[in-house]
């Protein structure tokens, strides 16, 4: 049985990749960082199966800022494949905490690569690179497009990307970088724009929120569906030769188009609810990202399976469903409390 080790297993991509690898017969080891509140929502359903169905999934405390924890895990687990997905991944936040972002995203990648090298493991390595490295480069962006990052996050990812290429060239590491364009899902973090929109409109529809505050509606992104993108990560590590691949849909839309389509799906008029708030504009914006993923299609046989319209529908429906269930759950709780029976001990 192959073993995989993931940083960022509690994140959007980490949760889908864990499911994907377990379904493919892997033993999966995930690194989670210590948090004062629970941070395993996205993988709790998998962890439940560990006890009921003996799923080979193991969680370990560790952190990309802590080299010794990474070295210990590599030494003890001896994985066949390492996927480095852990990151402070919010672009706007990276302007507020640039040093921390660089520590986790840039130096963290170096720490992990160096731990692999020093352990002498012959494992394959996946680096979660980002289209944010292209920044202001003219679209469409492909592997040969010069990088011009526009945020501390983009700069840190560019270091992570470059050091991965460097370990490949210097030490012969089987290290590949996926330069992934935006990918979303119902598990997307609540402060990224797509999920912020779908979550807010579900709350508006259910009468518990009235306004949605947004920044730049004119930015264009190439948005895909996250489960498709974790398949691309795995495909990269199955190649004989490590390489870098751009992964995206080849179609770009503005934030405004996402808003329009999402509100239309929920039967709401977005103009009545969306308010532009300068607080959500960035010191430097990335205006237009559009992937040319000819290489990934040709060499990996990878194709996206979900269109932009379908993605919006999936996310809107999931958030409407979640808010309705929360309201129903809250009412049940109130009824139980009124009857003198509480589920909260």
Residue numbers at the binding site for ligand NAP (CB under 6 A): 7-8, 10-14, 33, 35, 39, 63-65, 85-89, 104, 128, 130, 180, 182-183, 189
Among 131, 164, 177, 249, binds ligand F7E (CB under 6 A): 131
User: CA-to-CA distance for 206 and 201, rounded, in angstroms?
Assistant: 8
- Nearer to ligand NAP among residue 7 and residue 164 (C-beta): 7
The site map against ligand F7E for 262-281 (x = CB under 6 A) is ------------------x-
Which residues are CB-contacts of 192 (< 8 A; sequence separation ≥ 6)?
90, 184
Closest CA to 231 of 162, 173, 183: 183
- Nearer to ligand NAP among residue 34 and residue 271 (C-beta): 34
Q: What is the DSSP letter of 300?
A: I
Cis peptide before 26 (omega within 30 of 0): no
Instruction: Give which of ligand NAP, ligand F7E, none residue 13 binds (C-beta under 5 to 8 Å, depending on kind).
Output: ligand NAP
User: CA-to-CA distance for 95 and 101, rounded, in angstroms?
Assistant: 9
Per CB under 6 A, the segment of 40-48, 58-66, 188-196, 334-342 that binds ligand F7E is 188-196
Instruction: Give which of ligand F7E, ligand NAP, none residue 216 binds (C-beta under 5 to 8 Å, depending on kind).
Output: ligand F7E
Among 216, 239, 254, 322, binds ligand F7E (CB under 6 A): 216
- For residues 192 and 255, the answer to whether their CB atoms sit within 8 Å is no
Which residues are CB-contacts of 341 (< 8 A; sequence separation ≥ 6)?
none
Residues from 301 through 340 that contact ligand F7E (CB under 6 A): none
The site map against ligand F7E for 282-301 (x = CB under 6 A) is x--x----------------
Hey, what are 227's tokens? 């489960």
Instruction: Give which of ligand F7E, ligand NAP, none residue 149 binds (C-beta under 5 to 8 Å, depending on kind).
Output: none
Residue 241, classified by CB atoms within 10 Å of its CB into exposed (0-12), middle (13-18) or buried (19+), is exposed
- Nearer to ligand NAP among residue 64 and residue 255 (C-beta): 64
């Amino acid at each position: 049985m192959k073993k995989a080790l993931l940083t960022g297993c509690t994140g959007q991509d980490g949760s889908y990749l864990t499911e994907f690898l377990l379904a493919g017969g892997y033993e999966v080891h995930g690194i989670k960082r210590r948090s004062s509140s629970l941070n395993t929502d996205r993988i709790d359903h998998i962890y439940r199966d560990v006890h009921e169905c003996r799923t080979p999934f193991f969680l370990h405390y560790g952190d990309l800022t802590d080299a010794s924890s990474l070295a210990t895990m590599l030494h003890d687990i001896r994985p066949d494949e390492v996927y480095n997905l852990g990151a402070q991944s919010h672009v706007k936040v990276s302007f507020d905490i640039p040093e921390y972002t660089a520590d986790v995203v840039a130096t963290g990648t170096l720490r992990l690569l160096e731990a692999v090298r020093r352990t002498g493991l012959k494992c394959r390595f996946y680096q979660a690179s980002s289209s944010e490295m292209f920044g202001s480069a003219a679209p469409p962006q492909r592997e040969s497009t010069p990088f011009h990052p526009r945020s501390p996050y983009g700069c840190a990812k560019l270091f992570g990307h470059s050091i991965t290429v460097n370990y490949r060239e210097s030490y012969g590491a089987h290290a590949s970088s996926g330069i992934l364009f935006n990918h979303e899902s119902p598990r997307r973090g609540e402060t990224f724009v797509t999920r912020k929109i779908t979550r807010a409109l579900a709350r508006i529809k259910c009468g518990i929120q009235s306004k949605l505050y947004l920044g730049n509606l004119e930015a264009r992104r190439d948005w895909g569906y996250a489960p498709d993108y974790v398949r691309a990560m795995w495909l990269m590590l199955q190649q004989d030769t490590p390489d870098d691949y751009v992964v995206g849909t080849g179609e770009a839309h503005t934030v405004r188009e996402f808003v329009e389509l999402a509100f239309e799906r929920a039967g709401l008029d977005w103009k009545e609810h969306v308010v532009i708030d300068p607080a959500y504009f960035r010191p430097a914006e990335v205006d237009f990202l559009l992937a040319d993923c000819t290489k990934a299609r040709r060499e990996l046989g990878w194709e996206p399976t979900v269109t932009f319209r379908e993605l919006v529908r999936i996310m809107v429906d999931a958030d409407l469903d979640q808010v309705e269930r929360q309201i129903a759950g809250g009412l049940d709780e109130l009824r139980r409390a009124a009857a003198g029976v509480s589920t909260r001990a």
